[in-house]
Amino acid sequence: MAAETPLFITLEGGEGAGKTTQIVHLAGLLAERGVKSLLTREPGGTAIGKRIRAVLLDPDHAGMAPETELLLYMADRAEHIQTVIRPALTDGTSVLCDRFFDATIVYQGAARGLSAEWIGRLHDLLFAGLKPDLTLLLDLPPEAGLARARRQLEQGVRAGGEGRFEAESLDFHQRVRMGYLALARQEPERFRVIDAGRDEDRVRRDILAAVEMFLNRRGDKPPSN
Ligand code: TMP
């Protein structure tokens, strides 16, 4: 049976956590359950967003002011919410998003040092505090994630020239991890923490189980075949 109201699900985590692979598995699960979904990402979920993404992730922009960085992520999100996320939800389509607002609280707040309260106020003002129904946090030690992410950049698995955050210190990425775990503790109803340090199939099964449980609790029944 299809979901009665569309879902907004986000995947979050540090670099190299495997979100981009796992979100595709998740889209498959929702399709099996008869839930129509749209797969998207931040930054870069729109044509304008792709250009903003290129500016944000260009390693030549290493010295970007934190406020510039914050406003560029917000600009990407404004376009994304207006032209992709809200229209999909209004149309009854669930949205699966690779990163959203929690990433701003963690990267520009906890890691970069801007006020999380201030970022939250901006989000409320601009986007009426739009929040996901469910957030899957793919957690792993930054040493392992960074090694994976840097390998993908070298091998061209990820678009070249996107390495600005991979070039940040281990300390920065540790703050990212701690920031995410703190958010998960603050909002245990919304977050599910998944151990992303294991092989892809184990992580996939944990994610699917977490989402199945969420759907069942919400009253969506699995298909009867
Ligand atoms: P991605 O590699 O997961 O697509 O994300 C690109 C980078 O952007 C990643 O290093 C995290 C960072 N980021 C922020 O710093 N703030 C944000 O609000 C978002 C959405 C991403």
The reply to whether 225 falls in a domain is no
- Stretch 74-85: mean pLDDT: 98
Question: Rounded CA gap, 107 and 178, in Å?
Answer: 11
Query: Nearest CA to 38 among 77, 76, 101, 88?
Result: 88
Question: Rounded CA gap, 122 and 128, in Å?
Answer: 9
User: What pLDDT, on a 0 to 100 scale, did the predictor assign at position 106?
Assistant: 98
- Give the mutation target among 100, 107, 150 for probing the ligand 1 site: most ligand atoms within 8 A of CB: 107
Closest Cα to atom 2 of ligand 1: 15
Q: Write out pLDDT tens, residues 17-45.
A: 999 999 999 999 999 989 999 999 999 99
120: its two tokens: 């939250």
Query: Nearest CA to 29 among 50, 62, 3, 4?
Result: 3
> Which atom of ligand 1 has the smallest separation from the CA of 112?
15
Q: Write out pLDDT tens, residues 43-61.
A: 999 999 999 999 999 999 9
User: What pLDDT, on a 0 to 100 scale, did the predictor assign at position 69?
Assistant: 98
The reply to whether 29 falls in a domain is yes
> Ligand 1 pocket: which residues have CB below 6 Å?
15, 41-43, 57, 73, 99, 103-104, 107-108, 165
- Stretch 52-74: mean pLDDT: 96
The reply to whether 222 falls in a domain is no
Report the separation in Å between the CA atom of 103 and the middle of ligand 1, taken as the mean of its atom positions: 6
124: its two tokens: 């409320």
CA distances from 77 to 27, 56, 108, 111, 224 (A): 21, 13, 14, 19, 38
What is the number of structural domains in the chain? 1
Of residues 103 and 219, more confidence is placed in: 103
The reply to whether 1 falls in a domain is no
User: What pLDDT, on a 0 to 100 scale, did the predictor assign at position 153?
Assistant: 86
The reply to whether 223 falls in a domain is no
Q: Write out pLDDT tens, residues 6-20.
A: 999 999 999 999 999
Q: How confident is the prediction for the chain on average, in pLDDT?
A: 93
Tell me the CATH number at 210: 3.40.50.300
pTM beyond 0.85, yes or no: yes
Question: Rounded CA gap, 224 and 218, in Å?
Answer: 17
Is residue 84 pLDDT above 50, yes or no? yes
Give the number of other CB atoms < 10 A from CB of residue 217. 8
Question: Rounded CA gap, 103 and 105, in Å?
Answer: 6
- Stretch 141-154: mean pLDDT: 92
The reply to whether 12 falls in a domain is yes
The reply to whether 221 falls in a domain is no
| Domain around 178 | 8-216
- Stretch 104-129: mean pLDDT: 97
Query: Nearest CA to 118 among 102, 105, 106?
Result: 105
Closest Cα to atom 10 of ligand 1: 165
The reply to whether 3 falls in a domain is no
> Which atom of ligand 1 has the smallest separation from the CA of 43?
20
Report the separation in Å between the CA atom of 90 and the middle of ligand 1, taken as the mean of its atom positions: 26
- Stretch 110-120: mean pLDDT: 97
Per mean pLDDT, which range of 114-128, 177-191, 211-225 is the poorest?
Answer: 211-225
